[in-house]
Amino acid sequence: MFELYAHDFSAFIDLELGADGRFGYEYLPFYWKDSNHYPFLVKVNTHLAGFVLLRKGSQISGDEGIWDVTDFFIVRGYRRRGVGMRVAHEVWKQFPGRWEVRVMDRNQKATEFWRRAIGEFLAKPVVPTPFKTNGQGWCVFSFESKPAA
């Protein structure tokens, strides 16, 4: 599934296929080895529908207390059916605390998805903060997920 995600993402950044025909992701093994990384598969009924990769620690500030959505992917056939929204909300409920969600400026559909998902989760409008890194424009949504009562 990561190859599908990388293919979608290649519309926004230069990704080259390897000699084996795959994009690859050198950090993927950390999600099964490092205690600060959390991988999740998304299923709808019994069908794979996507994945979520989380890590503890801000990739922007280095603050170890912040949860970071490093990668989030829903297969095209399950998009616009509420799957991504439900998955995001469930993740934030399961891991209460401070969160960051980073989105490339060029990925307007993702920016709108996260604005809606976070806004509905918090029951109030949210506005991302712009920032640049390595010459690339990004925005970050910062918010807090409260523990369930």
pLDDT tens, residue by residue, 62-105:
899 999 998 899 998 898 899 999 999 999 999 999 999 999 88
Residue 23 in this model has a pLDDT that exceeds 70? no
Given a contact cutoff of 8 angstroms between Cβ atoms, the answer to whether 49 and 75 are in contact is yes
Mean pLDDT within 114-140: 91
From the list 77, 74, 109, 110, the residue with the least C-alpha distance to 91 is 74
CATH number of the structural domain spanning residue 38: 3.40.630.30
Domain residue limits at 129: 2-145
Per-residue pLDDT band for 15 (boundaries 50, 70, 90) equals low
pTM strictly above 0.95: no
What's the number of domains the chain is made of?
1
Backbone angles phi, psi at 110, to 5 degrees: -65, -40
